[in-house]
Amino acid sequence: MTGSLVQHAVLLSVVLFTLGALGVFLRRNVITIFMCIELMLNAVNLAFVAFSRSLGTFDGQVLVFFVMTVAAAEAAVGLAIVIALHRHRDTLDVDSFNLLKW
């Protein structure tokens, strides 16, 4: 019974990860792209918790803890970059950020 629950949790994680990756390609607002990355990180967290449940260990929970820490740091730095970009370009459209393109 729990086995199928774990399996469906991992399947849900796959679908959520794919939706997040698709969102990164489809959306052009840089903040929405950020949120799609958060969605992918959450999908991975779900897989960690499900596998941890399946194996009967607690390592997955510790890894989820670290993923959340990195996500918080990433959100803080990323949103600071977004604010700096908006100040210089007055837009949040990723197509207009092409300074590093040659």
Q: Which positions from 29 through 88 interact with other proteins, judged by CB under 8 A? A: 29, 31-32, 34-36, 38-39, 42, 45-46, 49-50, 52-56, 58-59, 61-62, 64-66, 68-77, 79-84, 86-87
- Binding flag, residue 21, other proteins (CB under 8 A): yes
Residue nearer to other proteins on the CB measure, 83 or 100: 83
Q: Give the SS3 label for residue 101.
A: coil
- DSSP bridge pairs for 29: 93
Would you say 10 and 60 are in contact if contact means Cβ atoms under 8 Å apart? no
Minimum CB distance to other proteins, residue 8 (Å): 7
Minimum CB distance to other proteins, residue 102 (Å): 20
- Rounded Cα gap, residues 93 and 76, in angstroms: 20
- Rounded Cα gap, residues 86 and 84, in angstroms: 5
